[in-house]
Structure 1
């Protein structure tokens, strides 16, 4: 598992995923989870589709959905990531 806290205007790109997969291979693992508080570039998302390893990408929106609202967390600061055409959550 790898977790990153990037600024809302910075997305995880393909080289970050490639480095993560290299680390998985080095440790003999066939699965991994990459958590990021902002978003993933299109190239990063496409790259995991062609891997022999199973890599799950959890970005800001998905991450926010996993946090129970009863604990005081809510989607309150949304913005649109024009480059990727997706809505993102700013987690502060």
Structure 2
């Protein structure tokens, strides 16, 4: 019985590894986000978008990001809102 479980585990691992390369990447974004190939690892947010040295702009990764002119509402995972509405969310 133990040998059967081990065999199942080996076969499942091989199948899983080979199948993973053929699955499509999920690129659906929500809350006004858009899919980009190079989003900043630390996006601009309303409370600190005027700080220039918050993050290295050269680092990026594929994923959902705010469109140009939009910022994260209150944290790196917040909703995207137009930059002109950020004054409502700035933390003093």
Same-fold status (TM-score > 0.5): no
Larger radius of gyration: 2
TM-score (norm 1): 0.21
Query: Larger % of strand: which?
Result: 1
